[in-house]
Structure 1
Amino acid sequence: MAPGPPPPSWSSIPKKFELAVICSVRIVDFFQQAALQAFMFYQLASFSPDAPESEISFQVGVLQGVFTAAQIFTSVIWGRVADNPAWGRKKVILVSLVGQGISCIGVAFSRSFAAAVIWRTLGGAVNATVGGARTALSEKTEKKYHSRTFLLLPLAWNLANIFGPPIGGLMSDPVQYHPEWFGENSTFGGKNGVAWMRKYPYAPANLLCALVMFADAALVLFGLEETLITCQGRRDRGFEVGASIKELFSKYVLRRSGYTRLDQNEVTAETAVHDDAELETSTPLAQIMKEEHPRPQTPPKPTPVGPVPFSRALTRNVFLVMSTVALLDFQLGGFTGLWTMFLSSDRRDPNNDPKPQLPLKFSGGIGFSPSVVGLAMSILGVVGIICQLTLYPRVNARFGLLRSTRYSLFFFPIAYILAPYLSLLASSSSNQFLLWTGIIMVALIVISARTFAVPGMVLLTNNASPGPEVLGTIHGLGAAVSATFRTIGPIVAGHWYSNGLERGMVGEAWWLLAVSALMGCIPVFWVKDGR
């Protein structure tokens, strides 16, 4: 009996460069969101210097919420547009990246809370990277590789959280925090300092985000081939230019390294053998059919199909998956907002603030500056990558997709219950090691749970699709549901946090979020892995 094909592995995944391009779409999207979190509290405070922390905390929730609120109304539309042969996945992703770059420029030069809200709403309205990247990733690789390739999406979030918050924090208000370079009589500031940085102290960080978005749009234009089946075979001038650039680069590198380029016939023959090895199946009949009927050199032109009714996508399992996604994204959005506000809020002053009445009534935050907030936020990314590379493969292999996803949801409420007690360490102890140990422990619990929950729900959403012709619609629907509850989450959490601060009970918002997380553990037990 002939041995079966080797199990899928990272090394055997085809089209790695294009997968990296798709992953970069989510990295830059997460990057601009993560960078903003490091200084958002302080930029809003600069608009109204006399506003109390409770009001700024509420504004933080609103500014985070409007970005995803706009996605509620546009995600399904973008999904349908991406399924349309006249557009496809690539054009939708390009519009999204360029539109978000323009939004970042608008936020950079905003002088009021209302202006920032308008520009963030625009950024959310054009953001189709969630559904676009997920759909393209699904179509770019065979299903047997999905358990690995879909890990690239949370990996993108983790990478962005490592670099986004620290860079955003370091580039915030450079005149104040880096006066030797940008202040009066400085290296770049001259006699009076850099004037535009004094007027727009948070513009440099936002402009960097815009530059990153535009650069990735160029990468997608030249490096990604359309994945929609009804668009394949159509000429893509951007991809052709990118292929020519890679060709010239390869020739230059090969010439400098002393290697000789293979003849085109040799390359074609070698590629055909390599492709056959990747597509080999374990059934003898399939192998015989492949030998008797070799693949044509030019793929047949796909037959155009009409739009599929939206109602076909709404199966019972899709509804259950979307319910779980809704509750998960509510508490994840709430956590992101709370964590940012909690790290930025002033510590409890033992001389002026009421004495804590444990275990429930105590006030105060961590009191970090923007750069330290960025460092604390980056811990989430570092912990996430460690969990993905070490914890996820073993646990997922042992328990499977459904069980590992279900069990992971129970860790979120544990972290939310413990988080507010970090304020006691910040206000009552000068031992920074103890405080940072606590921050890392809370981050470890949240990110360990997220490592399984987020890719698990993306895979379950993908597998719940009734067919490939509605895959973009399903991911668009998932993005809309996610956006809806990531909108509600930060706004509600900001309201809870504001009320808690006024009552001297900083843990109120955290514990209400823990209750929400427990509710999210219920519907996933009826979800199936498949249609």
Structure 2
Amino acid sequence: MNNPTVSEQLQGFPVFQMCIIMLLRLAEPIAFSSFLSYIFFMIKSFRITKNDAEVSKYSGYLASAFSLSQFFSSVPWGKASDKWGRKPAILIGCLGTALSMVLFGFSCNFFMAFVSRILMGLLNGNVPIMRTTVGEIAVEKRHQGIAFSNLSLIWGLGKCIGAYLAGHLTDVDHFREYRREEQNTNSLFVKFPFAFTNIVIALLIFNVVIIGWLFLEETHDDLRTKRDRGLEVGDKIRKLLGFEVPDRPWQTKKGESAETLIDNNSIDSLEDNDFEMQSFSSNEYIPIKVETEPSIFTWPIIHRIACNFFISFTNIIYTEFFPIFLAKTMMPKSLKFPFHMRGGFGYSTDATGKLLSTTGLIGVITVSILFPIINKHFSLLTGFKIGLAIIPLLFFALPLNLFTIPEYNHLTSSHALTTTLLYINAGFLSFFGSINNSQMVLLIHRASPKKQRALINGYTISITALSRFIAPLIWGWVMSKFDFSGTGGISWWLLAGVSVFVFGLSFILNEDDEHD
């Protein structure tokens, strides 16, 4: 195995542009995860549920609304980025996220929250565009492992930030039976207790958009030479701060090589095509051989997208319903080992946000340290399979932590053991989830022909969004039914079974299917 060392992977790495794109990447996970800390209380405030068990069902509807709209918008956003450039598409997507977040924060009924989640999916198609952009920034294969792992790292970091901010800025945990109409006050943030968090996060995203406008370079091959006024302003700022700034293509003086009718790049592109240079007279007809575009959906691509579909299926279920499991009211009288359980751990928004942000941060740190090492000692596919093999065990163990609460288990005198086990369980799920997502993105990227990567990424995200639409609908209903019947743990064990299926599916993948 001739994998590059960690130092070789870092040598010549495009640090500055990767930092800017990763900063923009933060927008979606912050927006996506911020509501998880308080969604249990928000749904209860709409007065549409008869009991805690039904909250999962309505949470699933909100998650599915976002994913379904993203399913329809991902490919059009990818095509728009091909036509007008990666940079404008990314910046507009971030602004769309900020707008829909403010609307979500001021939602006073379930319908308004549902519409805002649809808008969030429609107005932001950045996931496939970001993947394509990262591949166009990190063009050398030795840089791609770190570059694509950073996508998952930033997703994890964004989830930490979103969960932390929501947990600390949304003060609703002191009223589990919240009634919005009972809040007779003129205070805006008492009347709309979920608005402040969303306004703060929207302002953060707006600031990130400004940074992107100033410093992000266009990566599309056909559009990178087009004048970028934002980048020109950013270059002036960098020069004032003492940094070196490269000459931009549109700033090249007339008469230089960039102005010639045929430049080196044009000659190279001619050589890449399958034309045969021949001399012939005006009376001769020589057929010109034109290279046909390869099919997008080859079997290696189909296998990878299918595997990604089911990974996304399990990930969204854990991401959406674990915070609700934490927040549900504790019901120790319903517990009887091993099958009978109802309710959850009774966590507040602050406690939920702290657990999600802390375990997410653990995942980010460990992945950043270990991913280059894993990339050195294991092939991409081997490391991928190891993570998939461990995740079902973690899902299986998750509901069993409920039997360690002192209200049920007299062998424990405090919640310290339960809390520790939850942090360990969630920390490992965060770590292996981040690793597997990075590896999955890289497996798809390397199996895709270069000219079709943007389109394939668009279709991949659309299929992923379809998975994220189906999963919450199904599992919201499944969790509500099993929780109501007093066997809530079964829904998590079924999820473990789906994860076992994903592990088996990984054996049809082959690293020999890669493109350079």
Q: Same fold (TM over 0.5)?
A: yes
- Aligned residue for 1:364, secondary structure, equals coil
Task: Determine the structure 2 residue equivalent to 1:236.
Answer: 228
Q: Helix, strand or coil for the counterpart of 1:43?
A: helix
| C-alpha displacement of 1:452 | 2.3
- Check if 1:377 corresponds to 2:374: no
2:162 aligned counterpart, secondary structure: helix
Rounded Cα–Cα distance in structure 2 between residues aligned with 1:489 and 1:432: 32
Aligned mate of 1:502, from 484, 488, 491: 484
Tell me what 1:63 maps to.
Answer: 62
Assess if the C-alpha contact under 8 Å between 2:93 and 2:125 holds in 1: yes
Q: Is 2:62–2:117's contact at 8 Å kept on the other side of the alignment?
A: yes
- Residue in 1 that maps onto 2:404: 425
Matched residue, 1:128: 125
| Residue in structure 1 matched with residue 437 of structure 2 by the alignment | 454
- Pairing 1:42-57 to 2, within 5 Å after superposition: 42-48=41-47, 51-57=50-56
Q: Equivalent residue of 2:346, what SS?
A: coil
1:413/1:99 CA distance change after superposition, 3 Å: same
Q: How does 1:91-102 map to 2 (within 5 A)?
A: 91-102=88-99
Q: Secondary structure at the match of 1:230?
A: coil
**Runs of 5+ unmatched residues, structure 1:** 178-191, 252-261, 269-294
CA contact (8 A) 2:170 2:193 kept: yes
Q: Tell me the equivalent position of 2:155.
A: 157
Cα drift, residue 296 of structure 1: 6.5
1:225 pairs, out of 214, 217, 226, with: 217
1:170 aligns with 2:168: yes
CA RMSD of aligned residues (A): 2.8
- The residue type equivalent to 2:378 in the other structure is F
Q: CA deviation at 1:50?
A: 6.2
Give the whole-Å Cα distance in 1 for the aligned partners of 2:198 and 2:292: 41
**Partners of 1:166 and 1:194 in 2: how far apart?**
28
Partner of 2:277: none
Aligned-residue offset at 1:110: 1.0
Indicate which of 346, 351, 355 corresponds to 1:367. 346
Structure 2 counterpart of 1:104:
101
Q: 1:312 aligns with which of 277, 290, 295?
A: 295
SS class of match (2:461): helix
Q: Does 2:34 match 1:35?
A: yes
Larger CA deviation: 199-208 vs 438-447: 438-447
CA deviation after TM superposition for structure 1 residue 383, in Å: 2.1
Alignment of 1:179-328 (within 5 A): 195-250=187-242, 300=263, 312-328=295-311
Selected match of 2:316 from 311, 333, 350: 333
Aligned to 1:405: 384
| Distance 1:393-1:347 versus aligned 2 partners, 3 A rule | same
1:484 equivalent in structure 2: 466
* Alignment check: 8 A CA contact 1:173 1:197 kept: no
Give the 3 Å change call, closer, same or farther, for CA 101–438 of structure 1 in structure 2. Answer: same
Q: Is the 8 A contact 1:175 1:193 kept in 2?
A: no
Whether the 8 Å CA contact 2:41–2:173 is kept in 1: the answer is no
**Any idea what SS the aligned residue of 1:312 has?**
coil
User: One-letter code of the match for 2:430?
Assistant: I
Change over 3 Å in CA distance of 1:464–1:367 after alignment to 2: same
Name which of structure 1's ranges 5-14 and 74-83 shifts more when overlaid on structure 2: 5-14
| Unaligned residue ranges in structure 2 (runs of 5+) | 176-183, 248-255, 271-290
Which deviates more from structure 2 when the two are superposed, residues 358-367 or residues 384-393?
A: 384-393
Range 87-96 or range 44-53, more displaced: 44-53
C-alpha displacement at 1:39, in angstroms? 1.0
Over 3 Å counting, the alpha-carbon distance change for 1:50 and 1:422 in structure 2 is same
Conservation of the 8 A alpha-carbon contact between 1:61 and 1:494: yes
1:391 corresponding residue in structure 2: 370
SS in 2 for 1:472: helix
The structure 2 residue matched to 1:438, chosen from 416, 421, 425, is 421
For residues 486 and 320 of structure 2, the distance between their equivalents in structure 1, rounded to whole angstroms, comes to 19
SS at match of 1:173: coil
Asked if the contact 2:29–2:155 (Cα under 8 Å) also holds between the matched residues in 1, the reply is yes
Query: How many angstroms apart in 1 are the aligned matches of 2:65 and 2:44?
Result: 18
The offset of 1:297, in angstroms, is 8.1
Q: Measure the CA separation in 2 of the matches of 1:58 and 1:50.
A: 9
Q: Residues 234 and 329 from structure 1, CA distance in 2 versus in 1: closer, same or farther, beyond 3 angstroms? A: same
Counterpart CA distance in 1 for 2:115 and 2:331 is 34
Question: 1:528 — aligned with what?
Answer: 510
Deviation digits for residues 346-403 of structure 1 (CA, Å, limit 9, x no counterpart): 11143xxx4x332222223011011111011113312202321343333332221011
Sort the Cα spacing of 1:370 and 1:124 in 2 relative to 1 into closer, same or farther, 3 A. same
Q: For residues 298 and 378 of structure 1, what CA distance do their matches in structure 2 show?
A: 52
Equivalence for 2:475: 493
2: CA distance, partners of 1:173 / 1:231: 47
CA 1:417–1:197 in 2, change beyond 3 Å: closer, same or farther? same
Q: Counterparts of 1:527 and 1:17 in 2: how far apart (Å)?
A: 34
TM-score (norm 2): 0.84
- In structure 2, what is the equivalent of residue 518 of structure 1? 500
Deviation at residue 469 of structure 1 after TM alignment:
1.8
Residue aligning to 2:144? 146
Deviates more, 1:201-210 or 1:13-22: 13-22
* Poorly superposed stretches of 4+, deviation over 3 Å: 5-11, 173-177, 295-305, 308-311
How far apart in 2 are the matches of 1:383 and 1:515? 26
Compared CA separation, residues 51 and 159, structure 1 to 2 (3 A) = same
Cα-to-partner distance string for 1:16-44 (whole Å, 9 max, x where unaligned):
22111111122121111111111111112
The one-letter amino acid of 1:425's match is: T
Equivalent in the alignment of 1:116: 113
C-alpha displacement at 1:343, in angstroms? Answer: 0.6
**What's the counterpart of residue 274 of structure 2?**
none
Q: Which moved more, 1:389-398 or 1:516-525?
A: 389-398
- Asked if 1 retains the 8 angstrom alpha-carbon contact of 2:342 and 2:484, the reply is no
Equivalent-residue separation in structure 2 for 1:211 and 1:310 (angstroms): 44
Give the alignment's TM-score, normalised by structure 1: 0.82
1:16 partnered with 2:15: yes
**Aligned residue type for 2:438:** P
Change (3 A) 1:512 1:310: farther
Cα distance, 1:172 vs. partner?
A: 0.7
Distance 1:126 1:302, change over 3 A: farther
The answer to whether the 8 A contact 1:175-1:201 is kept is no
Change in Cα spacing, 1:232 to 1:301, as seen in structure 2 (3 Å) is farther
Distance 2:186 2:135 in 1: 47
Q: Distance in 1 between matches of 2:507 and 2:127?
A: 25
* Cα distance in 1 between the residues matched to 2:14 and 2:505: 36
